[in-house]
Every structure is written in structure tokens, then in C-alpha cells.
Amino acid sequence: MPHTISQKIIARAAGEASVSVGQIVTCKVDLAMMHDSGGPRRVESKLKELGVGIWDPSKVVLVADHYTPAVDADSAGILSLTRKFATLHKIHNFYDGEGICHVILPERGHMKPGLFAVGGDSHSPSGGAYGAFMVGMGATEMAGVLATGEIWVRVPATIRVEWNGALSRGVVAKDILLKLCATLGMNNDYKVIEYAGSTVAAMWMNERLTLSNMAAELGAKTGIIAPDATTAADLKAKGVQLEPWRAALCSDDDALYEAVHQFDTAALVPHVAAPHSPANSHPVTDTEARHIDQAYLGACTGAKENDLRMAAEVLKGRKVAKGTRLFIAPASTQTTAKLAADGTLAVLLEAGAQMMPTGCGACAGYGAGLLADGEVSIASTARNFKGRMGSSKAEVYLGSPYTVAASAVKGHIADPREFLL
């Protein structure tokens, strides 16, 4: 029978020749990712209660990214517990303050097509950019995975989303996702979003990461993109060689989808999501030019290498508006090093941006950069729920790195295209 790429990965992990939508199977886990916020401090007691250790430490990746660097005694305690857990269980793939987990996984060569992977964070679908089936889960489920190396799954239906055509100047993957949140809504419960089309095929891997990551904002189980030559080249540069079956993974031509949506990329313009939901998205030209107290370039969807280069295109030779502050928090230490070496960081700092530590930071409401009552912000993050970035009386708009940078220069929500002529 014809299969989607997700069905093929699930069938392999379950040891089945084929699986059908709605079928419940038990899958062997190829990779499990945890971070300091939802990881050791949540699962350690459960493992002790069960009297077991980790089934295979070589298949576990642990990242300290939420509470690092510690800003108070509680944060320091959580990080200390995380480090001790890594040592106790001999988790060699432990990254302490080196970047956000969803960026670290591909950056350090842990992702590849065909993996059945789980993550202790709702944005774990990021792994789908590499043709992996990766889902987020809570601490109880993660404890079960750590103890057994297995998890049951109900085979989800797939929604295929095709974007065809060339992206206009100043329009990027973030705009695609904001448009999708407004169009498809955020209630695509227990569905896979499979991204395809000529637009996706032409994207860099970091842009594909944004697409897969924000399948979570669509309410989906995960997002996925079939691997291609771009995927293989990216992995080869990281020393990862693909077996032929991984490189050839794709959905069958006659695979059955719950729905297929087609979009004309040429018609897309920069989008902005108004408070307090990514689904409140509209073209920037239809968005009120509100004064911005804070612009934030951070998070796994908005502070990768290419994201900060986008912002630098807008900020080069310009200054952040008086009365507006611009914070940048690179998504990894490798990102920081690369952008320092090529002069991108200098452009951002000369424009008036303030550098923050690598990590989840203000995106998840941790550490510095939080908002006060009544403040208005625009961010390159994935979510703008009430209270997520500080006060519940603050308002957060979402935009691409281009749009965030343009708004920082103008001091109000602005269309980035006027800076990219």
C-alpha cells in the first residue's frame, strides 16, 4: 500500500512492513532529547522509583539551554542537577550553555532522515527538517522512553502543504508559517504537516528548520520535509554520511493525505502576528504601526545564523530608534562565533543592538529581556501567548528577523521591504 514518509518511518521503528492511519504500534526510539527545564529535574525521581537507568545513553542528547546562564540560586540548582545527571548516567552528548536544543541537534550532526526521535519540548518537530519523525512529549512519557527505549504511537494522518514559486525579497519561512497559522488555524491535532513544493526545495536547511519547528504552532503532532540533495550536503559538511535508504526517503506518489493545500509563494508578503496568538497573523501592510518598546531577535526560530544575517541586512548603516531597545540572543555559540568572524555581529552591535547570552532566554520567559506591564514588543520567536515573555499585561507581536529589525529601526511595526530595495 502507498505510504507517506511518516508512515514509512513509523513502520520501520515498529518493525512492521506497513502501518495504517489510526493504528497503534510500539516503536523503538532512535534518539531522545531532553533539556534542563523539562529533563533531569522531572525524570530523575521517576527513574529512581522504577529502579532503572537509561536504556542507551548513546542515544540521548541533553542540552542546558533554558536556565543558562543561571540568574538566581534556583536556576543554578537546576543546572547543577542537570550536570550531575549527565555524569551519573554517562550521557556524553551533553551540551551545557552551547545553544538551544532544537539548533544543537542538527548543528552537531545528531539529526538525519529516517530517525524515529522524541524530545522533551513542544518544538521538537524541528527534527522533521532533516526527514526525521520527531515528536514532543512530557516528562512521564520521556521517563518511559529513557527506561525502555520504546514508546507507543497512534499513526497520525498527514496534511500536505505545498508552496510553489520564488520568495519575494524580504519574505522568508517565518512569513510562510504565520500565513499558515492564520489560514489553517492552530487546531490540527495529531496530524503531520508535510511541507513540499518548489519553494521548500529551494530553502536552506535553517529555513526548513523554521517550517518544521512551527508545526507546533499549527497544533500538529509534527512537521516533516523529505530529504534531498540540500539535506545530504548539509549533513556531509557535518561529517554525517547517509545510507542510500535514508537519502531516498519520500512519500509515495499515490500516498493518501487527509488534505492537500497549495499556495502561491509569489503572492506572499511579510506577515505579523498580533497579540496573543500566532493565528492573529496579517500582512504587515494591514498591521497597525504601533510603537515598539522592545525588539527581540532570539529563539530557535529567529536567531540562527541566517536569521541574524537577515537582520544585519536591514540594520547595516542604520540605528535602532530612540525609545526602542533591540536585544539579540544567538541560537548557539557556533552561531555567535561564525557571525563574529564574518562581521555580522559588528553590524548588529553598531546599530545599537544589545547582546544577550545564547539560550532560550526571554522567548520562554527566563532570565533577562522580559517585558513590563504595558510594554509592546516584536519578536522573531514562535509564540506570543499572554505572559510568555514577561508581564501578562505586555503585548508581543511576531515577525520574521527582517520585520523585527525594520521595526527596531523605525521604532514601530514596519514593512522590511523598504530597507531591502
Residues in Cβ contact with 176 at an 8 Å cutoff, skipping those fewer than 6 apart: 163, 199, 211, 263, 265, 268
Three-state SS for 84-115 is: HHHHHCCCCCEEECCECHHHHHHHCCCCCCCC
Q: How far from chain centre, in Å, is Cα 318?
A: 29
Q: Both ends of the chain: CA-CA distance in Å?
A: 50
**Rounded distance between C-alpha atoms, residue 297 and residue 185, angstroms:** 25
DSSP state of 309: H
Q: Are 384 and 378 in contact (CB under 8 A)?
A: no
> pTM for this structure?
0.97
**Rounded distance between C-alpha atoms, residue 347 and residue 339, angstroms:** 10
Instruction: Give pLDDT, residue 299.
Output: 96
DSSP state of 259: E
* DSSP-derived pairing of the beta strands 94-96 and 259-264: unpaired
Domains 5-264 and 273-419 are alike in CATH topology = yes
DSSP state of 128: G
Q: Are 157 and 191 in contact (CB under 8 A)?
A: yes
Instruction: Give pLDDT, residue 66.
Output: 96
Q: Are 332 and 98 in contact (CB under 8 A)?
A: yes
- The cell for 421 is 530595495
Q: Are 139 and 118 in contact (CB under 8 A)?
A: no
CATH architecture, domain defined by 273-419: 2-Layer Sandwich (3.30)
CATH number at 5-264: 3.30.499.10
Give the phi and the psi of residue 369 in degrees, each rounded to 5.
90, 15
In order along its 421 residues, the chain shows pLDDT tens digits of 899 999 999 999 999 999 999 999 999 999 999 999 999 999 999 999 999 999 999 999 999 999 999 999 999 999 999 999 999 999 999 999 999 999 999 999 999 999 999 999 999 999 999 999 999 999 999 999 999 999 999 999 999 999 999 999 999 999 999 999 999 999 999 999 999 999 999 999 999 999 999 999 999 999 999 999 999 999 999 999 999 999 999 999 999 999 999 999 999 999 999 999 999 999 999 999 999 999 999 999 999 999 999 999 999 999 999 999 999 999 999 999 999 999 999 999 999 999 999 999 899 998 889 999 999 999 999 999 999 999 999 999 999 999 999 999 999 999 999 999 8
**Rounded distance between C-alpha atoms, residue 205 and residue 236, angstroms:** 13
b/e per residue 10-26 (b: at least 16 CB within 10 A): bbbbbebeebeeeeebe
* DSSP-derived pairing of the beta strands 157-164 and 191-196: parallel
- The cell for 87 is 555524569
Domain boundaries, the chain: 5-264, 273-419
| Listed residue (335, 334, 391) closest to 362, CA to CA | 391
**Rounded distance between C-alpha atoms, residue 345 and residue 343, angstroms:** 6
- The cell for 386 is 499572554
Beta strands in 202-303 (DSSP E): 222-224, 259-264, 271-273, 281-283, 294-297
**Rounded distance between C-alpha atoms, residue 90 and residue 58, angstroms:** 8
